[in-house]
Amino acid sequence: MKIKCLLLILLPGFTAVSQRSFCQPVSYLKTQPQLLSTIRQNLADADKQYSLMAGKVAPGQFPRNYDPAKNKFETSNSGWWCSGFYPGTLLEIYEQNRDKALLKDANLSLDSLAKEQYNTHTHDLGFMMYNSFGNANRLHPTETYKKILLNSAKSLSTRFNPKVGCIKSWESKPSDFLVIIDNMMNLELLFWATRETGDSSFYKIAVTHANSTMKNHYRPDYSSYHVINYNPETGGVQQKKTAQGFSNESAWARGQVWGLYGFTVMYRETHDKKYLEQAIHITNFILNNPNLPADKIPYWDFNAPNIPNALRDASAGSIMASALLELCRYADKKDGIVYFNAAQSIIKTLSTPEYKAAQGTNGGFILKHSVGHLPGKSEVDVALTYADYYFVEAMKRYTQFAK
C-alpha cells in the first residue's frame, strides 16, 4: 500500500500541514506502463527542447511564449509574472534527468531573478519565486535560497489589506482593490514561510485570502469570476468580472483550474475540510461540464460562443492535470479514481503530436496551443511557459504513483 504521510505543524489557533503531512492510501490508483514510458520519453525530449531554448535566451531574460504563426520567440525581464516558470521547469526536468547543463542554465536564470524578492508591486511572487527558488531549495537547500524565499513572502504580505481580507492583485486607482482568482496560486509561498519561521502571520494572510476568495469569487455552480473589485476602505464588493474570459459571467478555463489547484493546496496545508470540499465542487463543475471535450483539454472558456470550434488551452489542461493528481490523494476512493483517470487522459492527450511539439521546433517549448488573453489579443494559440511548467509537474506527480 502506498501512503503519503506528513507531519503536522501546530500554531496558535491553527493547524498547518506541510507538503509531507497527510496520510492517504493510494494503492487503488494504478499507473499505466505505456503512459509511464511515454512520460520518460517526454522528459527526455523536454531536456533537448530546453537545451535548445537556453541558447535563445539572453542574460537577464526569461522565455515567455512562442508564436508559430509569426515564428516569434518572446522573452520578458525578471519582473514579468511568468519569470519563475523557466528556471522552475529547468529544475523539474533536471530532477528527473540529472542533466547538469540544465542545472547550470537554471542557476544563471536564478541569479537574474533574485532581485525580485524585494518586489512589492506584484501579487505573483509565488509564481515568480516559489516555483523557481522553492524548487531550487527543495533540491539543494541553502541559507541563501531560504533568505530569498522569506524576503519574497514578506514582500507579498505587504499587499494584504485586512479590511478586504485579500492580497491585492493588479494596481488600480485608489478607490479600487482588484483581486484575481490567479492569486490563489501564490499562497503556497506564505505557507512555506510559516513552516520555515514559525511566524503564523503568513499563514493567517493565506487563510484569510482564501476564505474571502471562496466567499466572493464563486457562483452557486462553483464556477469562478476572474476579478473581484473590492472597496479598499470598507471591504465591500464593488464589481465582479471576467477580464480574460469571454464575458463577465462566463467560466474562463484557466481561472477555473487556478482555483482548483489553489484550494487543493489550501487543504494540504491546513487540513481544513472546507477547502477540500471547495476543490471537489470546482472539479465537479469542470469534469461534468457539457462543454469539456472528451480528451479533457478545455476550450479557452467554457462558455466560448464558437464551441466546438473554439481554441483549446493546453495550459489549462496541464494545470488541471497536476492539481487532480494531488486532489485524488485526498478525495474518497470513488472520486479519487475519477480524478486520477481524468489527469491520465490529459497527460496522454498532451503527449500526442497535436499538443507536443516536434524536436527542434516551437522555440524549444514542449507544448503547443495555449491561450493567454484572447479578448486582449495577446498570446493566442501559442506556446506558453507556464503550460510547460505544469505539464512537467503533472508528469512527475504521475510517476510518483508508480513508486
Nine cell digits for residue 249 = 459571467
Question: Is 364's pLDDT higher than 50?
Answer: yes
Domain count for the chain, please give it. 1
H or E segment and range at residue 43:
helix 33-54
Contacts of 148 (CB under 8 A, 6+ apart): 114, 117, 129, 133
Question: Is 233's pLDDT higher than 80?
Answer: yes
Question: Is 5's pLDDT higher than 80?
Answer: no
Active-site hit among 47, 182, 301, 381: 182
Q: Beta strand 3-11 with 14-25: parallel, antiparallel or unpaired?
A: antiparallel
Question: Is 128's pLDDT higher than 50?
Answer: yes
CATH number of the domain bearing residue 394: 1.50.10.10
Question: Is 355's pLDDT higher than 80?
Answer: yes
Q: In the predicted model, what is the mean pLDDT of the chain? A: 94
**CB burial readout 190-226, b (16+ within 10 A) else e:** bbbbbbeeebbebbbbbbbbbbbbbebbbeeebbbbb
Does the active-site annotation cover 105? no
Question: Is 300's pLDDT higher than 60?
Answer: yes
* DSSP assignment string, 173-217: -TT-EEEEGGGGGGTHHHHHHHHHH--HHHHHHHHHHHHHHHHHT
Q: Mean pLDDT, to the nearest integer, of 77-106?
A: 98
Domain that holds residue 231: 3-400
**CB burial readout 108-136, b (16+ within 10 A) else e:** bbbebbbebbebeebbbbbbbbbbbbbbb
pLDDT value for 25:
55
pLDDT value for 17:
42
Quick: pLDDT tens for 45-91.
999 999 999 999 999 999 999 999 999 999 999 999 999 999 999 99
Cα–Cα distance between 198 and 331 in angstroms, integer?
29
Partner residues linked to 370 by β-bridges: 382
Active-site hit among 47, 105, 124, 381: 124
Nine cell digits for residue 290 = 457539457
Contacts of 209 (CB under 8 A, 6+ apart): 160, 165, 166, 167, 183, 184, 187
Does the active-site annotation cover 182? yes
Distance from chain centroid for Cα 156:
17
Contacts of 247 (CB under 8 A, 6+ apart): 303
Partner residues linked to 179 by β-bridges: 228
